[in-house]
Amino acid sequence: MAGPLTIEPDDAERRAIVRDGLGVGIATGLYGVSFGAVSVAAGLSVLQTCALSLVMFTGASQFAFVGVAAAGGAPLSGALTALMLGTRNTLYGLKLAPLLDLRGWRRVAAAQVVIDESTAMSVTRTSRTAARVGFVTTGTSVFVLWNTFTLVGALAGNLIGDPRTYGLDAAVGGAFLALLWPRLADPRNRVIAVCAAAVALGVVPVTAAGVPVLVAGGVALLAGILTRSAADPTELPGR
Amino acid sequence: MTWVAIIGAGIGCYLLKLAGVSLPARALEHPLVERVADLIPVALLAALVAVQVFAEGTRLTVDARAAGLAAAVVALLLRAPFLVVVFVAAATAALLRLAVPGW
């Protein structure tokens, strides 16, 4: 879907962008295996697991949904957590829209692959064509491979019996931490993370499963509102 | 009920993406919106880590999952890729349970 070209990247640059996009697609797609296995371990069927990857298609939200299910939480709690995590894709879309200039059915189709990886592989480009090549290559390859490997992981997860024997319950915590890790470079985020974790654990004994995570989301809202009224040191350019 | 949640949240997540590529860019410019949007993933992921590792139903507990998390931290400090981090967490918990049944 290259569309009318204004600034043309040369063939070498185009090949490099495609190669990088496929590389990211393969790396990301592979951890679809861990999602598939974790999801069936949480009690979802293979079909439900694949539906999450096809329709929801945003890794952190999917892991959150099955994480809440694994803890015995109500599906509604899982859905709300997934939606809150999905809001960051809205921000990615806002950044991508002027860059990619998508219209009509292309916009409707492209929206589904607005995720961390496709955004990262296109916002740094210097021309619209290059940004589109990066976005489409990465988005498509992640979509195809993530869904394929979700199925593989779900089928394998179904065969292995009690997931605790293989430490799959511990794998979920590791996965969330890995997703969180890059954001902890910011000192303010470290404070928020520790507070959110403490609040969540604090309300575990008194609420239904899944609710503690939503309460922690409330902490983020409160922190966002409160830090605004202070003289804001976070507004200093960080990089 | 699980199906309703899956499809509902799935469509909701799609609509959030579609809103992003459809709304005018000005929608992002409010500093409060930006700040809250940055903080929400941090808070939710940190809470998910904590609950996933230290909660058992409505009880707090320390078991093999905590050792798995510690191993994940070491892997992340060594700049291991995502898949390795997840594998290390699982393998550590699994080996501990093999050594100390019931953990």
pLDDT tens per residue across span A102-138: 999 999 999 999 998 899 888 878 899 999 999 999 9
**Cβ of A147: how many Cβ atoms within 10 Å?**
16
Amino acid at A206: V
List CB contacts (< 8 A) between B65 and chain A.
169-170, 173
Distance, in Å, from the CA atom of A56 to the CA atom of A136, rounded to the nearest integer, reads: 18
What are the Cα distances from residue A92, in Å, to A100, A163, B84? 12, 35, 27
Q: What is the pLDDT of residue B31?
A: 82
Provide the mean pLDDT of chain B: 90
Task: Give the distance from CA A94 to its chain's centroid.
Answer: 16
| B71: closest CA of chain A, how far (Å) | 9
Average confidence (pLDDT) over B73-79: 97
Q: What is the pLDDT of residue A7?
A: 62
**Cβ of A161: how many Cβ atoms within 10 Å?**
9
State ipTM. 0.88
Amino acid at B14: Y
Amino acid at A196: A
- CB–CB of A170 and B90 under 8 A? yes
Backbone torsion region of residue A130, taken as left when φ is above 0, otherwise alpha when ψ lies between -120 and 50, otherwise beta: alpha
List CB contacts (< 8 A) between B69 and chain A.
170, 173-174, 177
In the A/B pair of chains, how many CB contacts fall below 8 A?
Answer: 329
**Cβ of A220: how many Cβ atoms within 10 Å?**
26
Q: What is the pLDDT of residue A116?
A: 86
Backbone torsion region of residue B56, taken as left when φ is above 0, otherwise alpha when ψ lies between -120 and 50, otherwise beta: beta
Distance, in Å, from the CA atom of A133 to the CA atom of A22, rounded to the nearest integer, reads: 11
Please report, rounded to a whole number, the percentage of residues in chain B having pLDDT higher than 90.
61
Residue B60 bridge partners (DSSP): B55
> What pLDDT tens digit does each residue of chain A (239 aa) get?
444 445 678 888 899 889 888 888 887 888 788 899 989 989 999 999 999 999 999 998 999 999 888 888 899 999 999 999 898 899 889 889 988 999 999 999 999 999 988 998 888 788 999 999 999 999 999 999 999 999 999 999 888 777 788 888 888 889 889 989 988 999 999 999 999 999 999 999 988 877 898 898 888 888 888 875 544 444 444 33
Which A residues, 7 through 36, put their C-beta within 8 Å of a C-beta on chain B? Answer: 27, 30-31, 34
Burial B71-80 (b: 16+ CB within 10 A, else e): bbeebbeeeb
pLDDT at B17 over 50: yes
What is the tally of helices (H) and strands (E) in chain B? Answer: 4, 2
Distance, in Å, from the CA atom of B75 to the CA atom of A145, rounded to the nearest integer, reads: 25
Average confidence (pLDDT) over B20-39: 80
Answer whether A17's CB lies under 8 Å from A124's CB: no
Q: What is the pLDDT of residue A104?
A: 92
Residue-wise DSSP of A92-160: HHHHHHHHH---HHHHHHHHTT-SHHHHHTTTT-SSHHHHHHHHHHHHHHHHHHHHHHHHHHHHHHHHS
Which has the higher per-residue pLDDT, A227 or B100? B100
Distance, in Å, from the CA atom of A195 to the CA atom of A197, rounded to the nearest integer, reads: 5
> What 3-state DSSP class applies to A19?
helix
- CB–CB of A88 and B40 under 8 A? yes
On the 0-12 / 13-18 / 19+ scale of CB atoms within 10 A, A198 is middle
Which A residues, 196 through 235, put their C-beta within 8 Å of a C-beta on chain B? Answer: 196-201, 204-209, 212-213, 215-217, 219-221, 223-225, 227-228, 234-235
Q: What is the pLDDT of residue A233?
A: 47
> What 3-state DSSP class applies to B60?
strand
Interchain CB contact of A46 with B (< 8 Å): no
- CB–CB of A58 and B23 under 8 A? no
| Model confidence, pTM | 0.78
Residue B55 bridge partners (DSSP): B60
> What 3-state DSSP class applies to B59?
strand
Tell me A112's DSSP state: T
Q: What is the pLDDT of residue B28?
A: 67
**Cβ of A120: how many Cβ atoms within 10 Å?**
13
Q: What is the pLDDT of residue A149?
A: 95
Which A residues, 88 through 127, put their C-beta within 8 Å of a C-beta on chain B? Answer: 88-98, 100, 102, 107-108, 110-112, 114-115
- CB–CB of A228 and B32 under 8 A? yes
**Cβ of A64: how many Cβ atoms within 10 Å?**
32
